[in-house]
């Protein structure tokens, strides 16, 4: 007389775990740990429409690398402000965008919002930070402006590949809240700000391959690519 | 998992169920659950360590973040785990309990386990095995340990003639580990971000 109930229990857990993994792997880019959006409009299914007046009306929107029905295509964009004073990185995923603006010293902002089907986006961040951007029709770059604390910058962010992009690490070290953001450019250069208890400072270097950051005091952080 | 702890090496006598018999049980009945537990715990940890954390995963509607979902699922699991302790005491006669306390124990345990599984999947898939702070280190380690210990508990249940102290000790260990896992995650989340959904 052997009880098989416990085996069924374990088996059910295994099946559930595999099911969740497959859901994760197939949806891949669901909502993230960072998003606190509640818009519920994350499934834009309409095909790409022509762009607004004033932009190049380019009906052949086929240059995007992923020929999917969901516009705009997911991607990473990294670039700099036109005055070259700060970096900006945007990650698009599933009709949402998250952007990070960072001058590597004191000014940084995380912004997020939805991406319209025509590739335009209006992202918002803390303290009234705003980003108005627009994906070019061929999906090769995002152009726009970002407004933070009454200052405004124009920027261009071309499409980039891993390991370029935006990374974030949030943790606490000995009770101190540590929040770091990094932008890795395609040429390998990077900027980052690490705030300890809200005090921003230049961040130590991030190893883009592993996401490891070695702090001045020898501690380690692990930064992860940011997905909206 | 086809190894049968009660298989023929026993000696061939019919085994009376539930008897704390005088004969020494075959070591396989402890060894197999222990090995499975180790394999589960190390396997989960290795997966979390080796694969590249995705940083994102499937979220449930109505929750602000996957961390909130996980905190509430974890809290649910802990609630059922508390019920486990109470119902176990009933089964062992240490507390007055209804006749269905054994069924209560079985089903509360199943629910607690099944509620904990999605949390673990998300942790390992999206975040991975991390060691960047004491809290995170213990959470990662004990989270993997929990599923190993739980597997051992389930497999031990299939054996008969176990020493009487073994199941309560292993069950208590599973509960204690789950509690620490909860303290280092959900409680931390609620204290840091507030009790939000």
A2-50 tens-digit pLDDT: 678 888 889 999 999 998 888 877 765 443 434 333 333 333 434 444 4
**Which of A10, A17, A222 lies nearest to residue B132, judging by beta carbons?**
A222
**Which of B58, B114, B160 lies nearest to residue A24, judging by beta carbons?**
B58
| Confidence at residue A28, expressed as pLDDT on a 0 to 100 scale | 52
| Confidence at residue B76, expressed as pLDDT on a 0 to 100 scale | 94
Provide the shortest C-alpha distance from residue A128 to chain B (in Å): 21
* Structure-derived torsion over alpha carbons of residues B53, B188, B119, B169, reported in degrees to the nearest 10: 120
A59 or B163, which is more confident? Answer: B163
Average pLDDT, integer, range A158-165: 86
| Confidence at residue A88, expressed as pLDDT on a 0 to 100 scale | 93
8 Å CB contact of A20 and B158: no
**Which of B1, B133, B151 lies nearest to residue A173, judging by beta carbons?**
B133
Are A91 and A162 in contact by the 8 Å Cβ rule? The answer is no
The answer to whether A33 contacts chain B (CB < 8 Å) is yes
| Confidence at residue B144, expressed as pLDDT on a 0 to 100 scale | 95
Name the average pLDDT for chain B: 82
Name the average pLDDT for chain A: 77
| Confidence at residue A27, expressed as pLDDT on a 0 to 100 scale | 67
Cα separation, A186 vs A163, in Å, equals: 8
Cα separation, A121 vs A132, in Å, equals: 6
| Confidence at residue B158, expressed as pLDDT on a 0 to 100 scale | 85
H or E segment at B36?
Answer: helix B28-50
| Confidence at residue A60, expressed as pLDDT on a 0 to 100 scale | 44
8 Å CB contact of B56 and A32: yes
| Confidence at residue B57, expressed as pLDDT on a 0 to 100 scale | 63
Q: Which residues pair with A112 in a beta bridge?
A: A98, A124
Are B5 and B32 in contact by the 8 Å Cβ rule? The answer is yes
When mean pLDDT is compared across A124-138, B22-36, B95-109, B177-191, the lowest value belongs to: B22-36
Cα separation, A167 vs B55, in Å, equals: 10
8 Å CB contact of B132 and A219: yes
* pLDDT classification of A65: cutoffs 50, 70, 90: very low
The answer to whether A15 contacts chain B (CB < 8 Å) is no
pLDDT at A157 > cutoff 50? yes
* pLDDT classification of A124: cutoffs 50, 70, 90: confident
* pLDDT classification of B11: cutoffs 50, 70, 90: very low
pLDDT at A77 > cutoff 50? yes
| Confidence at residue A94, expressed as pLDDT on a 0 to 100 scale | 83
8 Å CB contact of B117 and A16: yes
Provide the shortest C-alpha distance from residue B96 to chain A (in Å): 25
pLDDT tens, residue by residue, B126-158: 888 888 778 889 999 999 999 999 999 999 988
Of A50, A151, A157, give the one whose Cα is nearest residue A109: A151
Cα separation, B146 vs B172, in Å, equals: 11
Cα separation, A50 vs B172, in Å, equals: 64
pLDDT at A59 > cutoff 60? no
Average pLDDT, integer, range B68-96: 92
pLDDT at B107 > cutoff 90? yes
Contact residues, chain B to chain A, C-beta under 8 Å? 1, 6, 17, 53-59, 61, 64-67, 106, 109-110, 113-114, 117-118, 120-122, 125-126, 130-133, 135-136, 151, 153-155, 157-158, 160
Exposed, middle or buried: residue B86 (CB in 10 Å: 0-12, 13-18, 19+)?
A: middle
* pLDDT classification of B25: cutoffs 50, 70, 90: low
**Which of B64, B118, B158 lies nearest to residue A20, judging by beta carbons?**
B118
pLDDT at A64 > cutoff 50? no
Residues in CB range of B108: below 8 A, 6 or more apart: B80, B81, B83, B84, B87
When mean pLDDT is compared across A47-51, A157-161, B70-74, the lowest value belongs to: A47-51
pLDDT tens, residue by residue, A164-222: 889 998 887 766 778 899 999 888 888 899 888 778 888 888 888 888 888 877 778 88
Are A171 and B133 in contact by the 8 Å Cβ rule? The answer is yes
Provide the shortest C-alpha distance from residue A36 to chain B (in Å): 5
| Confidence at residue A186, expressed as pLDDT on a 0 to 100 scale | 86
8 Å CB contact of B125 and A4: no
């Amino acid at each position: 007389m052997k009880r098989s109930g416990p085996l069924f229990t374990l088996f059910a857990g295994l099946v559930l775990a595999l099911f969740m993994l497959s859901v994760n792997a197939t949806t891949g880019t669901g909502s993230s740990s960072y998003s606190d959006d509640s818009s519920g409009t994350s499934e834009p299914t309409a095909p790409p429409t022509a762009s607004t007046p004033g932009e190049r009306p380019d009906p052949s929107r086929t240059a995007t690398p992923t020929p999917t029905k969901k516009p705009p295509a997911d991607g990473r964009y990294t670039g700099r402000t036109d005055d070259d004073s700060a970096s900006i990185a945007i990650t698009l995923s599933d009709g949402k965008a998250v952007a990070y603006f960072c001058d590597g010293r004191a000014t940084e902002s995380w912004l997020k919002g939805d991406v319209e089907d025509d590739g335009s986006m209006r992202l918002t961040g803390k303290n009234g930070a705003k980003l108005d951007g627009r994906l070019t029709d061929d999906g090769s770059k995002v152009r726009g402006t970002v407004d933070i604390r009454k200052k405004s910058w124009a920027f261009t962010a071309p499409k980039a590949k891993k390991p370029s992009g935006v990374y974030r690490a949030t943790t606490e070290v000995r009770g101190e809240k540590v929040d770091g953001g990094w932008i890795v450019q395609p040429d390998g250069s990077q900027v980052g700000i690490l705030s300890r208890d809200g005090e921003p400072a230049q961040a130590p270097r991030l190893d883009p391959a592993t996401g490891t950051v070695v702090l001045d005091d020898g501690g380690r952080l692990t930064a992860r690519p940011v997905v909206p | 998992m086809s190894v049968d702890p009660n298989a023929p090496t026993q000696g061939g006598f019919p085994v009376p169920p539930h008897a704390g018999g005088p004969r020494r049980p075959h070591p396989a009945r402890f060894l197999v659950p222990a090995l499975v537990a180790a394999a589960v715990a190390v396997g989960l940890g290795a997966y979390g360590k080796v694969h590249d954390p995705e940083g994102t995963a499937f979220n449930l509607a109505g929750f602000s973040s996957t961390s909130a979902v996980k905190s509430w699922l974890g809290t649910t699991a802990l609630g059922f785990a508390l019920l486990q302790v109470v119902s176990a005491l009933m089964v062992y006669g240490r507390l007055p309990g209804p006749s269905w306390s054994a069924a209560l124990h079985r089903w509360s345990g199943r629910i607690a386990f099944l509620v904990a599984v999605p949390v673990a999947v998300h942790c390992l898939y999206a975040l991975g095995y991390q060691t960047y702070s004491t809290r995170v280190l213990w959470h990662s380690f004990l989270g993997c340990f929990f599923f190993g210990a739980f597997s051992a508990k389930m497999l031990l249940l299939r054996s008969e003639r176990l020493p009487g102290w073994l199941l309560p000790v292993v069950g208590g260990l599973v509960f204690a580990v789950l509690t620490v896992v909860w303290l280092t995650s959900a409680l931390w989340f609620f204290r840091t971000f507030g009790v939000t959904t």
